[in-house]
Chain A
Amino acid sequence: MKEVRTVLESLNNVGIDPVKAVIGSVSDVFQWEEQKVNEMKGYLLSENFRYHYEHNAYYRMLCDDNNITPADIQDFKDLHKIPLIPVTSFKRPDSHLLLSTSLTNIEFEMRSTGTSGIPSISRRDRETVDRSIFSLYAMYRDIFMFSRGAALFLFPSPEEMPEMGMVKALNMLSGLFDATKCLVKRASFKPKEAIEVLERWENMHTRHIIGPPFLVYKLVKYLKTNDIRLKLDKKTMVINLGGWKKFSGMEIPRSQFNEDCAEYLGIPKENVRDMYGLVEANLLAIECDKQSKHVPPWVHFSLRDPKDLSKEVPQGRRGVLAIMDPTSLSYPGFILTEDLVYLEKENTCECGRNGQKVVYITRVPGAEIGCCAINLEKHMDEIEAQKTTVAP
């Protein structure tokens, strides 16, 4: 049975992008049984692999070195053979080699900067930007179902940091709300101001809080220290993106964080949600109300043995995450990350969705501790320290 493949090929033949068609059907695809999903992934990723093989001299050389051609990648069972690009390649001075298209076609450069200060730059053309935006909105809508309400944005406005990946991804949510307020200004955040805004919105909007964990944590810690207990709304969500490790190296304890959010913000614990993504990929894995992080069904997460990256580890075992993302056309979206994760053993979820569910563990040993959030925290700490020094 090659039913899914046949349908996707037919769409392609009549001029409908199968990747966009799958993204647009996210809620239905989340219900598909595993075999059907794998057939879809196998088709989209093998086609995407062929595209990069044919359009990217650098990637083709990498394939030649591994003796892999499009003939070797026919369907899902072959995906593990696709040559991977280490995520550190996006930081290299010669990262132009990663492009499968001319710079003339690049529409948007997005960046993330870690503690080393060297930015990771991903460049997207029109088609990749289209697919990325559809991908993020499809997941936001499917998991959160936002179409109204008010959101407190605990991250800098894109006006201040227009190319920062985390800011761009979170700010996309603004179009789904009736009101938003960005409370990180010139690298400064005042929890008291956040409380005032939340109180102003009371009985007018369902209130949400969105930002990297270290800033949400700062707000909750302020409430805790001052023994302030808010009562936000039944459907209030606290949405996090950007990693739980602080610049100091300390890790924000997730379960305690959920408890504190429930106690001091007055919301159900299951409304605290985390998301996983990286600037180089066009995806967000988002937590459902059962606190499982769902990988977008068109993306394949392949976990590699840390001692031999060519081998996959069994589901449920920890491994280095390799992302296979068919939405990327401007550069190959076959990326070997520096993140150690595991996939939950069952591909079903009590929330009703099927598919891969990822659990982030830590960075691989020796990898740079860094992401947009850590860099932002470091920058804010430096500004704060400067203010303290010059204050009379």
Chain B
Amino acid sequence: MYNPTIVAHFSNPKHSGELPNANQELKIGNSVCGDTVFLKLRIVQEKVEDAKFTAYGCATSLATADIFAHYIIGKQLSEIIATPIDRREAMLGELEPPQMHCLHILHELFTQLEQVAV
């Protein structure tokens, strides 16, 4: 049911926890199913220096938060925003239908980061 990317990031998240010196926060929430991601960011001179998340929900949504955090750390905001859609979607690997809502979570994280960059 879960592809190896989701298994790895869910079972051994590298970027979960708090970020005391964060200066930005992204929040994704779904009031019905309850999947929620809080992503705290330390952005210095348009570059994501660090990111930590706290997430509640299905395994794929937790893995999505970790995958996104892993992807953006060390990158310029402009580079992140320029990530093509197909590359974004490939980040989560092959998903089964009940996991597809996590693509929305991922796209929403990119969208909110774009708003930070403006």
Smallest CB–CB gap between A136 and chain B, Å? 21
Which stretch in A1-9, A109-117, A249-257, A265-273 binds the other chain? Answer: A109-117
Partner of A113, one of B33, B55, B62, B98: B33
Smallest CB–CB gap between B88 and chain A, Å? 23
Contact assessment for A96 and B7 in the assembled complex, using a CB-CB cutoff below 8 Å:
no
Contacts of B32-68 to chain A: CB distance below 8 A: 32-36, 54-59, 62
Which residue of chain A has the shortest Cβ distance to B59 in the bound complex? A103
Contacts of A104-134 to chain B: CB distance below 8 A: 104, 106-107, 109, 111, 113, 117-119, 121, 123
Smallest CB–CB gap between A373 and chain B, Å? 14
Smallest CB–CB gap between A256 and chain B, Å? 31
A117-B6 contact given A93-B62, A106-B1, A123-B59, CB 8 Å threshold: no
Partner of A117, one of B16, B34, B62: B34
Complex CA gap A91/B54 in Å reads: 12
Judge if B21 is at the interface, Cβ distance under 8 Å: no
Contact assessment for A117 and B2 in the assembled complex, using a CB-CB cutoff below 8 Å:
no
Complex CA gap A107/B98 in Å reads: 11
Partner of B1, one of A94, A107, A117: A107
Complex CA gap A240/B66 in Å reads: 40
Across-interface contacts of B29 in A (CB, < 8 A)? 117
Partner of A379, one of B16, B31, B58, B98: B31
Smallest CB–CB gap between B28 and chain A, Å? 12
Contact assessment for B7 and A111 in the assembled complex, using a CB-CB cutoff below 8 Å:
no
Which residue of chain A has the shortest Cβ distance to B3 in the bound complex? A104
Which residue of chain B has the shortest Cβ distance to A109 in the bound complex? B58
Across-interface contacts of A106 in B (CB, < 8 A)? 1-2, 59
Contact assessment for A96 and B62 in the assembled complex, using a CB-CB cutoff below 8 Å:
yes
Contacts of B1-37 to chain A: CB distance below 8 A: 1-2, 6-7, 10-11, 13, 16, 29, 31-36
Complex CA gap A379/B58 in Å reads: 20
Complex CA gap A111/B62 in Å reads: 14
Smallest CB–CB gap between A168 and chain B, Å? 13
Complex CA gap A113/B34 in Å reads: 7
Smallest CB–CB gap between B115 and chain A, Å? 23
Judge if A102 is at the interface, Cβ distance under 8 Å: yes
Complex CA gap A262/B105 in Å reads: 48
Contact assessment for B59 and A119 in the assembled complex, using a CB-CB cutoff below 8 Å:
no
Across-interface contacts of A162 in B (CB, < 8 A)? 98
Complex CA gap A158/B108 in Å reads: 26
8 residue pairs of the A-B complex, CB under 8 angstroms, read A91-B56, A96-B10, A103-B10, A104-B2, A106-B1, A117-B34, A118-B34, A118-B36
Residues of A participating in the B interface, judged by any CB pair closer than 8 Å: 91, 93-94, 96, 102-104, 106-107, 109, 111, 113, 117-119, 121, 123, 161-163, 379
Known: A96-B10, A103-B6, A118-B36. 6 other contacts (CB 8 A): A93-B55, A94-B16, A96-B11, A107-B1, A117-B31, A379-B32
Residues of B participating in the A interface, judged by any CB pair closer than 8 Å: 1-2, 6-7, 10-11, 13, 16, 29, 31-36, 54-59, 62, 98
